[in-house]
Every structure is written in C-alpha cells, then in structure tokens.
Chains A and B, each alone.
Chain A
Amino acid sequence: MAKVFRLYNIQGNNNIVDWQESKEYGTQAISEIIDPDGATARKEITSIPSPFARIDLVKTAFREVTNMARDAKDKRAALKGNTIYHKMVSEMFDVAQIFFNIDRFRDKFEIVVWDRKKDLDLDGILGNTLNLYLESDAVGSDPYNCKKMNRVYMLNYIGADRSAEMNIVGGTSPATLFFSSSNDLGYVTKNVLFDNDRPFDNVYQPLNKRSFDFQKYFFALRKSNREFARQFPEVNDYLDLVYGCLSNNEKREIDQLTDTSVGEYEPIKVGEREHDYLEILGFPYHKKLKNPIVNSDFAIRSSVYKAEKMPLVLPVEKGNMYTNLIYTNGPWEQDFSAPYHDKTDWKLRLLPELGDEYPYLTISDFLTDTIVRIPYTLNNQSYYDGGLVCKNENDERSYLLPLTPLFFQFFSVKELQETVPGTNKLMFEFVENASGIKVVLRIPIQKGFVEYSRVYFEGLLPDLDANDGGLIETKFGMGVMPLVHFPQNVKKHYRVAMFDKGKSTTTLAFYNGATVLESKSKVRAEKDLSGRGCSHEAYMLEDNFDRILVKVGDVEGFVVPLFKPANEHAATVFTFAVDFGTTNTHIEYISDTNRTPKPFDVKASETQLHQLHKRYTDQDIRMAFEQDFIPGTIGDKHTFPMRTVFANHVGMKLEQNPNPLVDGNIPFLYEKDFTPDWNKISTELKWGGVPDRLLEMHLETLFILMRNKVAINDGNLSATKLIWFYPASMTVGKINKFKQIWKDAYENYFGPDSSHNVISISESKAPYLHFIKTQGAADEVVTIDVGGGTTDVFIVENQEDRMLLSFRFASNAIFGDAYNNNPSKNGFVCKYKEPSKKILESNKLSELLRALSQIEDQGKSSDIVNFLFSLVGSRVDNNKELDFLRKLSNDDRMRYVFIIFYGSILYFIAKTMKAKGLVKPKTIAFSGNGARTLRILSDENEVVEKFAKLIFDGVYGDNKGSIQVMMEANPKIATCKGGIESPKPQPYDTIGSIKTVFVGNDFSHDDSRLTYADISDKMKQEVVEAVGDFFKFLFDLHKYNQEFLVNSLSADPTIFNRVKDFCLGEEGKQLLQVSLSKGITHKRETDGVNDDTPIEETLFFYPLVGLLHELAYKISQMK
C-alpha cells in the first residue's frame, strides 16, 4: 500500500506515488486532519502568516468546533469541549456578550474605533502591511469580507486589575463578528461576570450554555442579515448546531424571530455623532434589552412591596452560605459579595459581579450608618426594643432602631419584631458588644433570608467601606398617646411628646406603612443650648401610624411603638359626667362593667401617654411630661376634681387654630410647681374671661383623656355617653355656645351621635339626683351647689321638681376680687398669703414658691386663694400650717364673712321658696367645691342645721319641722355623680317652668320675664334695701337666739359690733350700691348681656360681693 506524505486522515488519493497532482487541501480536507495531540494544546495557535491571523484563527476555530460537534453523538458535549478551538469560540462569544452587555460594563470597558479610512497609516510598517493584506485578501471570494470592513470596534478594558495603560481584550471581526485578543485576560475574568459565566476563563462556554436572551439575540441578528450565512459561514453553521441543542420552548422562541426582531434591541452608540453605531459589515450589532426578567432566590420576600421587579437582597460577605441559591441565572458563587453600600438609586443599580441593571439591596439600604444611643432604658412594654439585653442590668441605655426608611417599604413593623417566616430566627436583633452594639438583620428572600450584621462602634465615625457603623448619644424623651390603633372609620387623635436635650436637633416624622404622615408640630420651648432644660415639643397626628423616624442631626433611627389595635367590636359603654366648674373641674365615669361612679383616673395599667423610656434620670425631661402634657397616671398624685386651668404656649396664635396638647395643655402641676415661662396660665375659663378657643382646648383636652380611656379599655367610642352641666344662671347665648362646644367635641373625639349621647343637666339638679340616690334624701329637698362662680339651687317637693335657682354668688364672691379689685385688697390674701409663703420658704419648697409667685403675677385673688387651698395636697402632707381650710376654720374673725355668705344664700332661697309657696325643706344638701367652706361655719353639722333652720323659720315665720343638712366629704363630686347616676337629660330649654328669677327687691313675683333694660335705679335701690333687710334679719337672728353668731358659730365677739356696724352702717350701704352697679356692669361685659337679654339671675347677691370683699379686707387689717 502506498504512503502519501500528508497529515493524518486528509481524505484524498491514497495511491499517489512520487510528486503527483492531487487536490487542494480544501475546507473539508483540513477539517479532517486529526491532531494527534487532540487539539488540546495549551498554547495559542499562532501560525497564520497574516497580521489578521487572529481573525482567521477564530474563523477556523468555529469550523473545527462545528465539525467536531456535527460528527459527535452528543452534540451538546461536543460543543462544550476544552480544545483551543473551543476556547477561541468561547472567547468570541465572551467579546460578543460584553458588547451585548456594554451598558452594564460602562465602568469597565471603553470602545475604541479603528476606522480604515481615517486610521490606516500607509507610511507605517504596520499600516502598510495591513493594507497589503486587506487588499490582497479581498481578492476572489473575499473570505474575510475585507472589502466591507470599514471599522474595527475594540474593547479596551479600563476596570480594576488592568495590566497596562491600554488593554484591548477583543473586537469586531469581519469574518466571525468578534474575536478576542490572545493575551491572558485573567484580569477581565476576575472582574466581569455575566449571569453565571466569567469571560476568558478556563471553562469554555458554548453559545447554548450562555444566557438565553443573548442566544436569542444572536439568532435574531442572524435573521436580520440575509447575507449572514455567506458572510459568516462558520458562525452560521455553529448557530445551526446550537439551535439543535436548545429546548423545545427555546426553539419555539427562536422560531418566532423575524428579520425585524432585531429592531427590539438598541444599537450600540459609539462616538459623538448620532449615526455612529457599532456595525459589522454595515449591520448594527445591538445591546441587551434592559432589565432582564430574573427569577432569583435572592428576590426580596416582602409582604408590603409589590412590583414586577422585586429587588434582590444580596449578601455582603463572601463564603458558601448562599452558594446553593440562584443569583439571576446561575448560582451565587462563593467569592461573590455585594458592596456594603451603593450610591446608585437602588432601582437603577447594576448587579454586583454581573453588572446587569437590576434593582438590588444591600446592608446599607436597610441599616443606617450611625446608631443613636439614648442613656435611658427603653420602656419595652410600650416600644419594641429589638431584643436588647444590657449585659449589666443597671446600664441605662437604649438605641433607636438603626433602620432606614427604605426597610419599611418592604416590611411591616410587625414583621420586624417576628421571626423570619419559615425559620426560627428573629428578623432583628441587638447584640451588646464590648466596643459598641451589633445589629443583626435578616431579610427574607425567596429562599430563607440574607443575614446582615453591622457593629456600631462607640466613638468612631462610620466607615461604610468596612461596614463599621458609628454611634452617637443623645438625650431625649418621648411619649405617644394613646398606643391604640383605631379602625378606619374612627377619627384619630394622637399626640406625641418630644423633649430634646441633645447636642443635635432632634425631630420626628411619622409613618404608617408606606405613607409618610402629615403631622402638626409645635415647639413650645426651645432647647437650652447650655444643657439646662430640654425642648418641649409636641406632634399631633390624625392618622394611625406604626413607627416614628427620629432624626438626630443627620442621623436617623426608628422608634416602633407597640400599638394595641382598638377593639372594633367593643361593646362596653362608658359614661362620663363632666362638671366643668369655674374653679375646679370634675369628671366621674362609669362603664357597663363597673357601674359605681369613680372620679376620672388613669391607672398605671391604662397609661395614656406611653413614655419611650422607663424612667428619665434627667429632671427636665421627666418634668416636661407633666408640664406640657399629662402625667403618667391620674388618681394618685394628680386627682380629679382638679383646678380649672389651662396652660398655652405664650406664642400661641389663635388664628392658627391651636390644638390641645399641642399648643396648650391642662397644667396638672398648677399650684404644685412653677409654670415654665413659655406657658401662659389661664383660670376662670368658664365665664368668658379668656378666648373661646382656650375654653375649647381645655375641654378638648378632657375629651382626649376620656376618649383614650375608652379606647384603652376596649370601650365603644361612639356609644360613649357624656353628661355635662350648665348653670341655670348662664345666659341663653352662653349656654348655646357651650352646647355647641360639647357637641362638636363629642363628635370630634367620640362619634357622630351627639344628639343621643351628649346629655346636659343643670348644675342645680345634678347634685339633687346624687343625694336622692346615695343619701336617701327625703322629700322637700333643697340642694345647693356652691361652685367657684355660681351657686345652683334645686328644690324638689313631693318628688317633683319645683324650683331652680342659679346665681353668680359662690366661692369667688368671697375669695375673688369683687369686680375689678386686686389681691392687695383681698382680705384672705392679705391675711394668709405671707404666712403661708414663710412656711413654704422654711420648708424649702421652692417650686411651690415659684408657682405661687407666678400665680401672684396673674393678679387674681381667687387663684392665690385656690393656691393656698391646694397646699393641703400630698407635697406638704401633715403640715397643718399649710391646711388652709383648717386655718380658716380656726379664724373666728373671718368666719363673719362665711356666715354672711351662707346666711345670705339660705335667706334668699327661703325668701324665694316662700314667695313661690313652697314648703320649708326637710333636707338641705350642699355640694360644689365652694361648699367646702361650709364647714368653716362650724365643724358640727347640727350647728349648721340650726343656722339653716333659724333662717328658714325666720323667713317662714314659724318653727315647724326640722332641717337636715347634707354634704359630701368632697362636695365637688356630687354634681357629676348625680348626673351619672341619673343621666336623664335636662336641656336648658326645659327648665323654664321651674327656673325662678327674683330680681331680689321685693320677692313678690317671679321676674324671669324681665330684661336687663328693665333694671331701673328704683329697682336697684330696692335690691340694696332688700340686702339691708337681710343684714337686719341676720343680726336679729343672732340677737334673739342666744347670740347665735358668737355662741353657736363661734364668731369672734370682739369684732361683732364692728362687723354689724359695717354691714348696717352707711359705709356698708354705700358699698352695696356700688357693688350692685359693678356687678351689673360686669355681667354685661362678661356674659354678653345686652338690654334685651332676659335676666337669668337675681341681683340680690351683687351688692353682697363688694361688701364681703371689703369686710374680709377690713377684718384682715384688724389688729
């Protein structure tokens, strides 16, 4: 057999001997050359004698691989070989894929364009040679398409680890579309990744192993160019083989491509000119469609955020923890890691390692760079504490949750506090650390979670590149009221108190789920930058919120209150009775489940204002809650009834619609501590001495307290009943105004059904109801409610409402300033203020002294006296010297004032009853805060009863029967209790039949039809005379009953005559006249009275106000 000297297996004539004509080594023949080394050579093939050798080699490589695969049984395996040809084919696609993904590699590659016309340098050795080859290779069939090649587009690697100034890794080829450089491109491998493959590595990827979108594009590209098969025959054959290796679905997708499918892709722009697009033989090559759909195990598992493209949550630490998870198309690899932070908007980010534009999130998207520490222990009953356990129990500290607002775009506060679904790992954990605090955050993803942790180091600036957090400390206090979430149809009224004492400014923002809420906020006091004193700030929200963003300077963190959902099916009905008095206000309440009326209270278990921390060691912050908000509890230190007083910010502007517990509050510390200078105190709210809005704000504050109590105790807000009381002596206009306020407030804070649930009862009747119910009062009852401003009298005979009286003659008539006087002329103030002050000073009760001083500054005697009364409170317990009532009880001289006060009231009632034909009462029940002073008359009930009987007997002219006098230990509560026990509405317009008004001159007829225009000088004179008659009556009573005032009521006998002379003398008469005039004028001024206003109250007591005031002063001046 002959032997032909040729390479293995070239098919040809095997019988050739000598030099004999044969055929050219054609494509087929060359492909059949079997390489004894299996084409596994490690070195690049370099044998092409052309400067374009590499272009040719890649063309050959395609043919070789195609031939191998075509003949192989397992075509897939054959396409994925490890020969040098597979390498070159793989690298061609690497280059193609980089161009395809050029957008995401903008930071890694620049495109350099070599233009044949512009750049071919015929004078240079290279240019000359290139030209020679381009010209001569273009002869014939132009196998490399040299003729059509105008430009070469090259990838210059500019990313990390680049080895030289210029690092050309590949470019376009007129023969195979692309080709790679033969250099070692390991530095690119290291830094570039598509899906699951790295370019230019030792794992050669055939096209069918690459991402399908890239494969699809290649087929689309082929479809777009009818010349493709002729121009790129090797690549064309290769594509045919790849097609055979695709799945049926993939084939179907490829089958649907048309010659215009490529139009769905965007050409790659190069250069400055608009029309400069990357082209190969005139056909544009395109870049990847943006935003591939990925099905990643790292896609966030969010209950909140819904989008087509769910962001991926990527680990920041290398390792094999996540290597079993699919990243986008391939697994997350051991050496993958996301950066700790990425400045790009997360929706526009490029995926780490891959570079695809696709949203992803990393640790710094969820965790802040700096944590805020507060030196107080968190109130973890009311706020989520992140599981922080201080190693040392005595360590008082807590942290804001170092979570970003973005975190909550994906997760609810509830999820934050729980374990990651499907695992037993908490989503969030604080771990105390010697050098700071470590935070572990586990973000749920499609498979399990990605765990992040960051240590926040004390005293260090944050270094995000190293994942080191910073830590700052600030002092602030905060409280939220109430911690109840309300259903949608219920109006919300939240208040958040914030007291900042840190170096940086602290502000709050509120969120509910994805919503940033609007809140009204008010800084009532600026922070004292010297470190003394905190800011006093308040926020008001009318929406449910679930978290609070606290900004401390530039640093942010969250507070998550533990809201309790309101019980939507709550059936418990609460009933509140509010006795809004001139001096004091009282609230009693009952509920379905507890029908015994109780003064309004807030127990520790039903805290309304939940403080963020268990205790504030900082006194300023601790005090601030009570100064500007409400105390933690009501019912012990602070109790109802309480002083009717309101504190508003000095800068409050009425026209800006100020709000309760924002611009002002009920100062529970009033009379107990000084009032901060940013607050302005108002008393005497009831009778029009202050703007209406202040009155409203005061009442609304009470409404907020009541509402919160209902909500916290699972009550039915909209079924709440509210009873309020009005003095019958109030003008209709004023009553109507009050009615509107109560109605509006009810509808605002409880519900729409005010017509059924808001009940008004006169202040006169309510105490009666209480006495009937609890004291077993007999028929013929007179109840006398002595308040601060009015005395209301209700008379029942044979269980029938017979008469209602109301007049503005109550405790303020004694303790006040008698129409425009001042405390320097007030006998009680003159006599008792200074001694009390001395006691306070000696007991070093400086806050009380400061409080007193502030009250003094207000210039109202009643406030000063009320302050003196308040000293009996717990702070000065057991110090009898500060028990003002007791001191007054022991003051036999001042007792004349009280004798005249109560005597005149009983005398007037008796005269009226007699005139109306009513029988003498069997029971007289006193109530009202003012009635406290009744015991000044005598500690013995019998003495008081005797005094009352003597008056009634004297007026009625007989001494039949007996009178029982009743009084509650705390007389103020009777009104409320009566109202709540018998909540029968008694609207103002229904009392007309029993409301009795005697002007007070002759007691001969009911004067309720008179108007103020009817008040004549004669009438006034008669009134003064009638008052004179009373004094005669009183002193006769004394005279004919064993000197009753001195012997029974223990009035100081040494001044009896001076008192008598004053009252009956010319000076007294003068005073009575002046006082009457002043009273009428005052009425007109403060009650909105005009000539047409019906007279609602007697004028009888107006003269007495001035006289008593003067009497008390005179007594105080007596030696």
Chain B
Amino acid sequence: MKVYVFGIGGTGSRVMRAVTMLLASGVECKADAIVPIIIDPDAAGGDVERAATLMRRYGEVRSKLDFSSKKQNKFFRTEIMETMTNYRLPLSNTEDCRFDEYMNLSGMSKENKALTRLLFSQKNLDSDMEVGFKGNPNVGSVVLNQFEDSIQFQNFANDFTAQDKIFIISSIFGGTGASGFPLLLKTLRTSNNIANPNLVNNAHIGAITVLPYFQVKQDDESNIDSATFVSKAKSALSYYLRAISRNNAIDNLYYVADDTRTTYDNEEGGAKQKNDAHFVELISALALIDFANAQNPNPDRKNNDNLRTVHKEFGIEKDTNEITFGELGQKSRKQLRKPLTQFNLFAKYLGEYSGFKSQPWVVDRGLDGNFFDSDFIDTLKLVQGEYLAWLAEMAGQQRAFTPFNLHRDSNRVFDLVKGVSPRTTWPLFDKNFDLFDNRLNNTGGESKLGEKEQQFVELFYLATEKLVKDKFNID
C-alpha cells in the first residue's frame, strides 16, 4: 500500500521533512511507501529544497538496505518514492507571470473582466506567480487548477491502485497550501480526465489542515501578515466546513495548531523562506502515519450515501512549553521515544565518535576505510546531521519539542533523554561510547549478513535498540 502525500506549499515541505525524519528513525508506518508530491510554485523555496534534498538522501541510503522479513532494522524502513523530479509536481506558466496575465484578463469579455475584478483584488491580479500566492489562496485556487494537465499527475493516477491512499498536507493560513488543498481535493474527487478516475475519485483520502503555529515579523510591505493568520484560519475553516466537511469530500481530516507561536523572519518566498522545524510539523507527520494506519471510514464511497469524515485532533498529556517524551500521550510516546532515541544515538556515534575503526564490530565485518569514506556513509551522516539539526530546531521553538539533551559531550553520551536518568549497566567500567562499542561488538545475527551497508545499519539498529532498553528502559 502506498500513500500518496501531497505536500502543498511551505508547510507541506516542512511536514515532509518531519515525515522523512520519522521514517529515517524508524517510526512505524503501515504504508509500504510514501509517494511525496510537493505542490509549490515557489520552486526556489527553501523549505521545498530542503525537504526534497532530504528525501533524496533518504532514498539513497535506503537503496542500500534490505528490508526482507528477517531483518530487524527499521531505520529508513518505509520507502519514500521519487516518482517525479524533486518530488515536485511542476506548475506551468507561473514564471515571470502576473496573475492577471496568467488568466489572460485583458482578453476576457467585459462581463468576465468585471467578475474577475470583483472576485480578485488588484493586488491579487498584480501578484507574481513565481513566488507562490503570498497568502492569497484564492489566487492559488485558480493557478493551481492545472493538475490534470501535467504528465506527472496523469502518471500518479495511472499508478494508483485500489489499496493506495492519498494524504494532503497544507496549512490553512498561508497561500499555496490553503488554496491547493480544496482544489486538489475537488480535482481528485471529481476529475474525469485522468487514468483510473474511479479509483482516484473514490480513494481513501486524508488531509491535515495545519492551523497557525508560527508568526512572521511584522512587515508592512509584505503580503504576509501574521496578524491575520487567525482571522484567515477562521475564515478558511468555515470554508472547509462548507466546502469540504459538509459535503464529505474527505475521509480523514486532521487539525493541528498551536497558540504559542514563534516569530519567524518575514519572507514572502524564495530560498530564504526556510523556517526552523516545529513540533507541529512532527505532529503532522504523525498524522500521516496515523492515516496510513487508518481504516477507510467510507470504504464504498461511490455507493454510499452515508459518507462521513473522521476528524482528529492531537493532544499531549501535559501543557508545557518544553515538551519531552514524558508529556506526550502514551501512544505518541511509544511511537516516537524508541526510534527517535535510537536514531539519535546512531547519529551521535557516527557524528561525535571516531575511535571505533579498530573495534571488533568493524574488523569482523571488514568495514574498511573505503567503506567509511563511501557516499553511503557520507549521505547517512548528512541525514543524521539533518536529523540532529531538526531536533535542535524543534527544541529552539517557543513551544519546544525537546526530548533530548542535544550536546556533544563524550563523557555524557547517555545523558540524552530528558526526564530519564540513564541506568547503570554491565560492564560497569564501560561508559559512554565504550558502552556503545561494547554493544556493537556484541551484536551479531542478521547484522553479519548481506551487504556492508546493510550489515552496518542492521548492526546499529540492533545495538541502539539494546542500549535504549538498557539505559533508558525503552522498548
């Protein structure tokens, strides 16, 4: 089963980053594959670029791994498929083009001109399509109405199977995401001009609507004014209620927001629009995983007059601005604590420790210098570095998700999980990376089979699994 994930706009990309991180760390997902389709006219957008790069690296790492049933490793387990270049659905005619030109306003009849001018503000009409819709989803609703026209979208429909699911990620308060979501949904539900229209029209579709969780610095010159975020969200929610919920166009709808909000620099788009990761994005990523696991509430959509939408919200057990695993709900804690801690340890080992080259686990497996200098290790380390950065970014937010003590102190390697004092373990004299080595050296089984890359990752999975059990009693 594949989940096609439409990540629309900046938020879509940021959530995809979180999804990738979770999948990299081994958070369990029922889907065999995630097929990201990023929709963002802002091709140069920082968030988009970062997410795409990360996903590509994820794929590179994963391509060396073996997930046959005997293997234990869950790192990079779920496939993230690149079915289109840069995971991005290309949008045509948005370069060097204003919205009025895009619509060919000057060529319209008087009546249509009038209607256009009634529905769209002059600013709308003057806006440059290249950098997105600058918080104007009504513009987006027109510009993005071109999915059907692209080969990539046609390919998506062509590949779509009855088991596959669709998940749409968008923010409600921005421009691109807010507009893309209903439009995409309408297209998916109603389009006849695609392959497998029956499958697509009646597919199990979920979406997360990301409500305001950050704000941008006040800038009178900017089209983005976060003071309107809540107003916009409210208006959009009402619209969704009428245009999406009430006609049951969606099967699963996830809402998330945060009222404690970090202020970002005001960037209307382009490379600079690259915001630090946020817990809400992680929550959103969890929504995807939840959706991937979920049953379709409307299994026979076509013949069902009694359609319903499952709405979900996310909560933690305790309201705090410094969220650790302890504050998460039980399920989330269980979902996240082990993989995130494992992958963290993996990352720390590779990133902070270098005295392992003569260790038995290395020698036994013939992991030579070439291996450690290989693209695979480089890419893995980049992913891990990104992972740690991602964690750090989330920890730096106003409402911080900060389950770990992110430090590079080799004397306190296991002073890692907040709220958990690492337990003393055998052998008593092995501490920190020595203990890590001890566990690596004592791990065998599947970690000694297959390609080196496979062995390597399998080894680390098993070792970190043991370590988190031993030191943090996580299982």
Within the assembled complex, what's the spacing in Å between the Cα atoms of A41 and B186?
A: 30
Which residues of chain A have C-beta atoms less than 8 A from B178's C-beta?
Answer: 47-49
A48/B239 contact (C-beta < 8 A), A41-B225, A132-B190 known: yes
> Does A16 have its Cβ within 8 Å of any Cβ on chain B?
yes
Binary contact track A89-124/B, C-beta < 8 Å → 1, others 0: 000000000000000000000001111001101001
Kindly name the residue among A25, A121, A137 whose own CB sees the greatest number of chain B CB atoms within 10 A: A25
> Does B173 have its Cβ within 8 Å of any Cβ on chain A?
yes
Task: Return 15 A-B CB contacts under 8 Å, by A number.
Answer: A6-B256, A14-B315, A17-B315, A19-B287, A35-B234, A46-B121, A48-B137, A49-B239, A54-B118, A60-B235, A119-B115, A132-B183, A136-B189, A141-B242, A183-B122
Which residues of chain B have C-beta atoms less than 8 A from A154's C-beta?
Answer: 114-115, 118
Binary contact track A47-63/B, C-beta < 8 Å → 1, others 0: 11111111111011001
In the assembled complex, how far is the CB of residue B286 from the closest CB belonging to chain A, in whole angstroms? 6
- Report the stretch among A164-172, A342-350, A1018-1026, A1063-1071 that lies at the interface: A164-172
> Does B135 have its Cβ within 8 Å of any Cβ on chain A?
yes
B257 to A5, Cβ gap below 8 A?
Answer: yes
Which residues of chain A have C-beta atoms less than 8 A from B231's C-beta?
Answer: 35, 37, 39, 41, 45, 47, 84
In the assembled complex, how far is the CB of residue A74 from the closest CB belonging to chain B, in whole angstroms? 23
A36/B172 contact (C-beta < 8 A), A51-B119, A53-B137, A132-B145 known: no
B141 to A53, Cβ gap below 8 A?
Answer: yes
Which residues of chain B have C-beta atoms less than 8 A from A168's C-beta?
Answer: 114-115, 117-118
Which residues of chain A have C-beta atoms less than 8 A from B117's C-beta?
Answer: 166-168, 181
Within the assembled complex, what's the spacing in Å between the Cα atoms of A39 and B232?
A: 10
In the assembled complex, how far is the CB of residue B102 from the closest CB belonging to chain A, in whole angstroms? 7
Within the assembled complex, what's the spacing in Å between the Cα atoms of A139 and B243?
A: 8
In the assembled complex, how far is the CB of residue B337 from the closest CB belonging to chain A, in whole angstroms? 13
- Report the stretch among B10-18, B77-85, B324-332, B419-427 that lies at the interface: B324-332
Which residues of chain A have C-beta atoms less than 8 A from B238's C-beta?
Answer: 27, 30, 56, 59-60, 63
> Does A129 have its Cβ within 8 Å of any Cβ on chain B?
yes
Which residues of chain B have C-beta atoms less than 8 A from A12's C-beta?
Answer: 313
In the assembled complex, how far is the CB of residue B194 from the closest CB belonging to chain A, in whole angstroms? 14
B241 to A5, Cβ gap below 8 A?
Answer: no
Query: B residues 410-450 with Cβ under 8 Å of A?
Result: none
Query: B residues 260-284 with Cβ under 8 Å of A?
Result: 280, 283
> Does A273 have its Cβ within 8 Å of any Cβ on chain B?
no
A114/B114 contact (C-beta < 8 A), A36-B259, A43-B228, A128-B145 known: yes
Query: A residues 850-867 with Cβ under 8 Å of B?
Result: none
Please classify how large the interface on chain A is, using the bins under 10, 10 to 19, 20 to 34, 35 or more.
Answer: 35 or more
Which of A1, A20, A45, A144 is within 8 Å of B242, CB to CB?
Answer: A144
> Does B195 have its Cβ within 8 Å of any Cβ on chain A?
no
> Does B296 have its Cβ within 8 Å of any Cβ on chain A?
no
Which residues of chain B have C-beta atoms less than 8 A from A52's C-beta?
Answer: 119, 138
> Does A143 have its Cβ within 8 Å of any Cβ on chain B?
yes
In the assembled complex, how far is the CB of residue A738 from the closest CB belonging to chain B, in whole angstroms? 89
Kindly name the residue among A30, A47, A50, A51 whose own CB sees the greatest number of chain B CB atoms within 10 A: A47
In the assembled complex, how far is the CB of residue B371 from the closest CB belonging to chain A, in whole angstroms? 40
A46/B136 contact (C-beta < 8 A), A17-B315, A17-B330, A56-B235 known: yes
Which of A4, A13, A47 is within 8 Å of B235, CB to CB?
Answer: A47
Q: A5-B313, A5-B315, A16-B314 given. 11 additional CB < 8 A pairs?
A: A18-B286, A25-B245, A47-B235, A48-B138, A49-B236, A60-B234, A124-B103, A125-B104, A132-B183, A140-B247, A154-B118
Which residues of chain A have C-beta atoms less than 8 A from B135's C-beta?
Answer: 46-47
A125/B228 contact (C-beta < 8 A), A2-B316, A5-B315, A48-B239 known: no
Query: A residues 139-187 with Cβ under 8 Å of B?
Result: 139-141, 143-144, 152, 154, 156, 166-168, 170-171, 181-183
Within the assembled complex, what's the spacing in Å between the Cα atoms of A449 and B117?
A: 46
Which residues of chain B have C-beta atoms less than 8 A from A1042's C-beta?
Answer: none
> Does B407 have its Cβ within 8 Å of any Cβ on chain A?
no
A51 to B314, Cβ gap below 8 A?
Answer: no
A30/B237 contact (C-beta < 8 A), A20-B313, A137-B243 known: yes
Which residues of chain A have C-beta atoms less than 8 A from B286's C-beta?
Answer: 18-19
Within the assembled complex, what's the spacing in Å between the Cα atoms of A454 and B276?
A: 72
B173 to A5, Cβ gap below 8 A?
Answer: no
A6/B232 contact (C-beta < 8 A), A20-B313, A27-B238, A128-B145 known: no
In the assembled complex, how far is the CB of residue B213 from the closest CB belonging to chain A, in whole angstroms? 8
A22/B312 contact (C-beta < 8 A), A5-B256, A54-B138 known: yes
Within the assembled complex, what's the spacing in Å between the Cα atoms of A771 and B124?
A: 115
> Does B108 have its Cβ within 8 Å of any Cβ on chain A?
yes
CB nearest to B329 among chain A residues: A17
> Does B179 have its Cβ within 8 Å of any Cβ on chain A?
yes
Which of B181, B242, B310 is within 8 Å of A21, CB to CB?
Answer: B310
B111 to A112, Cβ gap below 8 A?
Answer: yes
> Does A23 have its Cβ within 8 Å of any Cβ on chain B?
yes
Within the assembled complex, what's the spacing in Å between the Cα atoms of A436 and B468?
A: 105
> Does A252 have its Cβ within 8 Å of any Cβ on chain B?
no
> Does A264 have its Cβ within 8 Å of any Cβ on chain B?
no
Which residues of chain A have C-beta atoms less than 8 A from B183's C-beta?
Answer: 49, 129, 132
B232 to A46, Cβ gap below 8 A?
Answer: yes
> Does A15 have its Cβ within 8 Å of any Cβ on chain B?
yes
A140/B280 contact (C-beta < 8 A), A46-B232, A126-B116, A170-B118 known: no
In the assembled complex, how far is the CB of residue A150 from the closest CB belonging to chain B, in whole angstroms? 13
Which of B119, B317, B331 is within 8 Å of A53, CB to CB?
Answer: B119
In the assembled complex, how far is the CB of residue B132 from the closest CB belonging to chain A, in whole angstroms? 13
> Does B110 have its Cβ within 8 Å of any Cβ on chain A?
yes
Which residues of chain B have C-beta atoms less than 8 A from A33's C-beta?
Answer: 230, 233-234, 237
A44 to B259, Cβ gap below 8 A?
Answer: no
CB nearest to A9 among chain B residues: B259
In the assembled complex, how far is the CB of residue B346 from the closest CB belonging to chain A, in whole angstroms? 25
Query: B residues 132-166 with Cβ under 8 Å of A?
Result: 135-138, 140-142, 145-146
A45 to B259, Cβ gap below 8 A?
Answer: no
A1/B319 contact (C-beta < 8 A), A24-B253, A46-B138, A121-B112 known: yes
B314 to A49, Cβ gap below 8 A?
Answer: no
CB nearest to A43 among chain B residues: B225
In the assembled complex, how far is the CB of residue A312 from the closest CB belonging to chain B, in whole angstroms? 35
> Does A263 have its Cβ within 8 Å of any Cβ on chain B?
no
> Does B470 have its Cβ within 8 Å of any Cβ on chain A?
no
Within the assembled complex, what's the spacing in Å between the Cα atoms of A22 and B309?
A: 10
Within the assembled complex, what's the spacing in Å between the Cα atoms of A543 and B421?
A: 121
Which of A5, A13, A39, A121 is within 8 Å of B280, CB to CB?
Answer: A5
6 closest A-B pairs by CB:
A17-B329, A47-B232, A49-B179, A140-B247, A3-B319, A53-B138
A47 to B104, Cβ gap below 8 A?
Answer: no
> Does B255 have its Cβ within 8 Å of any Cβ on chain A?
yes
> Does B461 have its Cβ within 8 Å of any Cβ on chain A?
no
Which residues of chain A have C-beta atoms less than 8 A from B246's C-beta?
Answer: 140-141, 143
Within the assembled complex, what's the spacing in Å between the Cα atoms of A471 and B430?
A: 116
Which residues of chain B have C-beta atoms less than 8 A from A49's C-beta?
Answer: 137-138, 140-141, 178-183, 236, 239
Which of B114, B136, B241, B314 is within 8 Å of A156, CB to CB?
Answer: B114
Which residues of chain A have C-beta atoms less than 8 A from B172's C-beta?
Answer: 47
Within the assembled complex, what's the spacing in Å between the Cα atoms of A115 and B112?
A: 9
CB nearest to A37 among chain B residues: B227
In the assembled complex, how far is the CB of residue A55 from the closest CB belonging to chain B, in whole angstroms? 8
Kindly name the residue among A50, A64, A170 whose own CB sees the greatest number of chain B CB atoms within 10 A: A50
B313 to A35, Cβ gap below 8 A?
Answer: no
Within the assembled complex, what's the spacing in Å between the Cα atoms of A114 and B287?
A: 43
In the assembled complex, how far is the CB of residue A109 from the closest CB belonging to chain B, in whole angstroms? 12
Within the assembled complex, what's the spacing in Å between the Cα atoms of A171 and B111?
A: 12
> Does A133 have its Cβ within 8 Å of any Cβ on chain B?
yes
> Does A459 have its Cβ within 8 Å of any Cβ on chain B?
no
> Does B68 have its Cβ within 8 Å of any Cβ on chain A?
no
A20 to B190, Cβ gap below 8 A?
Answer: no
> Does B290 have its Cβ within 8 Å of any Cβ on chain A?
yes
A136 to B311, Cβ gap below 8 A?
Answer: no
> Does B113 have its Cβ within 8 Å of any Cβ on chain A?
yes
In the assembled complex, how far is the CB of residue A230 from the closest CB belonging to chain B, in whole angstroms? 14
In the assembled complex, how far is the CB of residue A130 from the closest CB belonging to chain B, in whole angstroms? 8
